[in-house]
Amino acid sequence: MQTLITDSPREAADFINRGQIVAFPTETVYGLGADITNDDAVQRIFLAKGRPGDNPLIVHVYSPKEVEKVAASIPETARKLMDRFFPGPLTLVLCKQSRISPLVTAGLPTVGVRCPRHPVTRAFLRECRHPVAAPSANLSGKPSSTDWKSVHEDLNGKINCILRGEQSAIGLESTIVDCATEPPRLLRAGAISLDELRAIVPGLLGPAAIEEHAQPKSPGLKYPHYAPSAEIRLCGEEYGVCEGGKETAWIGLSPPPEGAAVTCRCDDAGEYAHRLFRFFRECDREHIRTIFCEMPPPEGIGQALRDRLRRAAEGK
């Protein structure tokens, strides 16, 4: 299969409408999409990524009004969050309509729905006949792709088309809130913090421990994620010290250790999030064996960063 690279949202949408799969930019990370009504196309997402079948996908819509096409009902708490954060980096888990392929939801009665704010994404989704189901556009378990070149590196020849855009502005996957339960619960941290969510829905619960063998209601909860080839070592006050060396790398907010081969000092947690996955991929290209990652403070997007770093360390 030859993977086409295009700058045209309409051309990329034509692939989706013909039952094929397309990688596309969003403000969080790049997604790998298929028509939610086409079982064969959705199955090709799982095959291209090597993704476990019990890991559900997020449905992307171009307008908040389109949520009604995929959700059987929209609770008042969900409407409040949509009014404040749609379009944006927020996914809401809602009871699903039967028209959605069960492959999208991994057989669950719920579906995660998101309305991205990226203008290229919205132009692309507007041209698609149906909403688009999409996980991150990378090989399963590896760092998410935040630029089209990383998508090409992982998936060239495995997917039909890449819609080219700029590097993702945020760099971490969306915040996910389960609104199919009462009170709603944060499932995955992201750029929208728990405090921001509670400012709209005061009773919203924080993340709960996921049972080891439980089927996840959203991506990013069960399997190791976000890991480069190198070993990840967390460092900071509550963890350990970082070390320099010719096959080591370092990323964080403090000055890097002497001797590290690849370093990335960030001004704040937002820049750290923006650069993290791209840095992991750079370390793979430089054959780094150990990456020291400084844990940021747990405020704002720092909470999401800590989650991704812990999961990357679990994977390696």
Condensed to tens digits (0 to 9), the pLDDT of residues 249-282 reads: 999 999 988 888 999 999 999 999 999 999 999 9
* Local confidence band at 95 (pLDDT 50, 70, 90 cut-offs): very high
Among 98-107, 243-252, 289-298, top mean pLDDT goes to 289-298
What is the average pLDDT value for the chain, to the nearest integer? 92
Residue 189: CB partners within 8 Å, gap ≥ 6?
Answer: 175, 207, 303, 304, 306, 307
Annotated binding site for L-threonine: 28, 60, 114, 134, 174
Annotated binding site: 28, 51, 55, 60, 110, 114, 134, 136, 144, 174, 188, 226
Annotated binding site for ATP: 51, 55, 110, 136, 144, 188, 226
Beta-bridge partner residues of 60? 114, 132
Residue 264: CB partners within 8 Å, gap ≥ 6?
Answer: 249, 250, 251, 252, 256, 275, 279
Q: Between 249 and 141, whose confidence is greater?
A: 249
Would you mind telling me the total number of residues written for the chain in this entry?
A: 316
For residue 58, how many other CB atoms are within 10 A of its CB? Answer: 25
Beta-bridge partner residues of 176? 91, 188
Domain range list for the chain: 4-200, 231-315
Does residue 56 contact residue 219 with C-beta atoms inside 8 Å? yes
For residue 292, how many other CB atoms are within 10 A of its CB? Answer: 27
- Which among 186, 160, 43 is positioned nearest to 104, based on CA atoms? 43
The CATH number corresponding to 231-315 among 3.40.50.720, 3.30.428.10, 3.40.50.11030, 3.30.930.10 equals: 3.40.50.11030
Q: What is the pTM of this model?
A: 0.92
pLDDT for 207 beyond 90: no
- Which among 141, 54, 59 is positioned nearest to 103, based on CA atoms? 54
Residue 270: CB partners within 8 Å, gap ≥ 6?
Answer: 300, 301
| Per-residue pLDDT at 27 | 98
pLDDT for 217 beyond 70: no
Mean pLDDT of 206-232: 66
Q: Concatenated DSSP letters for 157-211?
A: TTSSEEE--PPPSS-SPPEEEE-SSSS-EEEE--SS-HHHHHHHSTT-B---PPP
> Does 231-315 match 4-200 at the fold level?
no
Condensed to tens digits (0 to 9), the pLDDT of residues 28-70 reads: 999 999 999 999 999 999 999 999 888 899 999 999 999 999 9
Beta-bridge partner residues of 202? none
- Which among 278, 281, 286 is positioned nearest to 262, based on CA atoms? 286
What is the CATH number that goes with domain 4-200?
A: 3.90.870.10
Q: How far apart are CA 232 and CA 223, in angstroms?
A: 16
